[in-house]
Structures are given as structure tokens and as C-alpha cells.
Structure 1
Amino acid sequence: MKKEKIIKERQSNVSKAGKDKEKEVIQLLLSDNEIREHFSIGHPSKVLKNIEELYIQYGDKSEMIDADVCVVRKKDNKLVCVISVKKSFRERGAQTAYWALKVKQYKKNYKYLLATPDVDKELFNPQNPENKRKWRVILPFESDGVFVYSYDGKLYEEHKFYVGKDYLLEYIKSLVSS
């Protein structure tokens, strides 16, 4: 019983930490006046009228993709971007790559991004920015963009991999007319 309680407590803490990171991304995006003017941003149930856009069919069943934050353009109420927010990667990189592939496979009409503070420096180490570990290679190729938002300004850019808050803000702004 004690072991089960420890596991449940850890899972609860991990879930809370993940929700906190989602809030960070939402707050970052909403801190920009232009983004706030043109987009509704939040959890899918808060900003989408048709949540079915986020489902993938598996035979007679359907499952919702990993959609932590949705970006909906106000002028036409169009979902333009889904953001998967990950605090760290270990087993989660595969989940993000999988859903990015499914979004492409089913020709969904929105971008699929990954946003992370990269707390464990699994994707980007400022002392060795050229070092590419497994997920750093895979994720930019499978998704529409990978954004390490825990740094101010623009620190590093390479094939759909961006380090710095400004890159994420600029990317979202570019979706105004997409």
C-alpha cells in the first residue's frame, strides 16, 4: 500500500507540474498584445467550438491527440495551431513525435508544435548548442516546430528548432494570415 501511495503522489506532482508549464505557455502567448488581439489561446475545451478537430480515428474508435494548448484565430474561429507542452522528455518525446505524425497523416489543417522549458537540458545545452541528442534530431523533423521557451530573446535557431521566447511569439504571430 505504501508503494502505491508513493506512486500516486508522484504522478499527481508530475501532472501538476505539467499543468503549470501549460499555464506558462498560455501566459507567455497572452502577454503579447498582437497575439491577444488576433487569437484565443487556451486548453481545447476552453477555446474550441468543435473539439472533434483534435480526434484521430482508429477503426471504430477515436482518440484525442496530445493537445495541451490550442491557438484559435478570432476572425474566422479557425484552429491554426496545437501546442504540446512538455517539461522533460525521457518517454514523452515519442508521444509528441507520434501525434505530430498523426496530424500530418490525417492532413489536419493546423500546425503541431512542441513547447518546452527543457528543464533537464535534454534538447539544448547552452554550453554545447550543437550537441544533438535523440529527441533533438527527431522532433523538429516530425513536428512543425520545437520551441525551448525558457530563455529570453532569440538564442539559437536550426531547422524548426528554436531557443528563446521570441521565436515562439513570432511563430504564432505568423499564423494570423495562414
Structure 2
Amino acid sequence: MTIKDLIKIYETKKKKYGLQAYRHISNVLKEAKAQHKKDFTGNDHEQSWRAFKGKNLEKLIEYIITDEVRALGLQVVNGNILERTNGSNLSKELSLVKRNLIVDYGEFGSHLPDVDLIIYDLKTSKIVAVLSSKVTLRERIAQTGYWKIKLASDEATKHIKVYFVTPDEDGTLTIKTPTKKGRAIVEVDTDGSYVLSETDIEESDKVKMFDKFIDDLKKLLK
């Protein structure tokens, strides 16, 4: 089981559901898990699957959005590429992107925020938005809120939008009130969350279904 296999499963959903395919990401992951288990030869399949799912959900989201992002004159890069690649081995374009995302910790150095995907202007390398993605909010949402606060505290990075993309499998974002802690963090400490779920959610200015993402991205460019 690889990301290519995951994309194949997604493409079958896309043929069936069209523009609503994003709602079926959890089913894509369920089917992938069954195949992953068939291929697995070790002792702890659940641990192996969790690692695979965490790493490849972000790659699947990258695959889903890349064409439409590029059509806007923007580009997407995986955060791991910037984190793990020495600056001297990056292209000038990506080296500038990396510099434009750095968080300054004074005497403790400069560090990249933990984000999964970075969307930037192809001509200027100016960062428009960063995305974090996890199957549920509890795994990452407080950290995402922290990075929003850090980026907003510096003149050079305060314009960067910080979003969370999730299938929200535990239903944290489904209703506005009573508000669960994860949704409260999204509403107050991030620029918003986009949900890949079959379940309709009570939307707000900051919590929306995933099909609103590209339109919101377009608004940032005006």
C-alpha cells in the first residue's frame, strides 16, 4: 500500500461522486486500511496503519488541491521537503519559501512551524497559507493554534493564513453549540478548518465544508 494506491481508491470515489468525492475520504481510508492489512507482515498492524494514514492523508489532500491551486498562479509544497532539506540543496524558489515561513525564537534560533502543506505565490515565493491535516482534531489542533499565534506575532509572517483540514472522524466540528474544545480552538486561534466528511456540519465563517476551500483561497488573492 502506497500513496499511489490511496489515490487510486480516491479516484474511484471521484468517478462515482464527482465534486462530492471529498466527503468520502474516511471511506477511502477504510478501504485502504483493509488493503494495508492484507499486505502487512509485521506484528502490530494498527501502529503501522496509523503511521501510514498520518503521513499519507496530507499527501492525498495535496493531490486533491494541487491542480486548482496551480490554476490560481500558486504552488503547493509539502512541509517535510522544507524541514528535511538543507537550504543549499533547495531551489532558489523553495529557499525563499523556507525563509518566508521561519519563526524567530531569538537566542534559541529560527525554526519552521509544523505544518503539512504550504501554499505560496509562484512568482514571489510569498506564502499565502499553510495547512495542517489530521483525521481528528485532537491530534493536532492546539498545535495549529499555537503556530497561528507565532506567525501572527511577526510582521513578516502575520499575513499567512493557518488552516486545518480534516475528515473530523470524531465529530468535533459538527455542531456550533455546545461547542467542543477543538472547535473553540479553530474558531478563536486559527484562520479556519475545512471538513472532508459525509456528515453535514453547522458552518460558520471559520468552519466550512472542504468544497469552500478554493473559493476562500481566491478571496485571499484579491
Q: Which band: TM-score by shorter chain?
A: 0.7 to 0.9
Cα distance in 1 for partners of 2:125, 2:112 equals 20
Distance 1:63 1:13, change over 3 A: farther
Q: Is the 8 A contact 1:41 1:69 kept in 2?
A: yes
Letter in 2 for 1:173: K
Q: 1:121 aligns with which of 171, 191, 214?
A: 171
Cα distance in 2 for partners of 1:54, 1:14 equals 28
Letter in 1 for 2:220: L
Deviating above 4 A after TM superposition, structure 1's stretches of 4 or more consecutive aligned residues are: 128-131
Task: List runs of 5+ in structure 2 lacking aligned partners.
Answer: 1-42, 83-92
What is the 5 A alignment of 1:75-114?
A: 75-107=123-155, 108=157, 109-114=159-164
The answer on 1:17 being equivalent to 2:53 is yes
Letter in 2 for 1:138: I
Cα distance in 2 for partners of 1:15, 1:42 equals 20
Q: Is the 8 A contact 1:18 1:86 kept in 2?
A: yes
SS of the aligned residue for 1:48 comes to: helix
Cα distance in 2 for partners of 1:28, 1:49 equals 25
Between Structure 1 and Structure 2, which shows a larger proportion of strand residues?
1
SS of the aligned residue for 1:158 comes to: coil
Q: What is the RMSD computed on CA atoms of the aligned residues?
A: 2.7
How high is the TM-score relative to the length of structure 1? 0.77
Percent of aligned pairs sharing the same letter: 28
How high is the TM-score relative to the length of structure 2? 0.63
Letter in 2 for 1:43: N
Deviations 1:154-178 (A, max 9, x none): 864213111x22211211222333x
Letter in 2 for 1:168: F
Q: 1:56 aligns with which of 78, 103, 106?
A: 103
Distance 1:150 1:36, change over 3 A: farther
Cα distance in 1 for partners of 2:197, 2:59 equals 13
Distance 1:85 1:91, change over 3 A: closer
SS of the aligned residue for 1:132 comes to: coil
Q: Is the 8 A contact 1:22 1:69 kept in 2?
A: yes
Task: List runs of 5+ in structure 1 lacking aligned partners.
Answer: none
Q: What's 1:161 paired with?
A: 207
Larger Rg: 2
SS of the aligned residue for 2:131 comes to: strand
**Range that drifts further, 15-24 or 79-88:** 15-24
Between Structure 1 and Structure 2, which shows a larger proportion of helix residues?
2
SS of the aligned residue for 2:145 comes to: helix
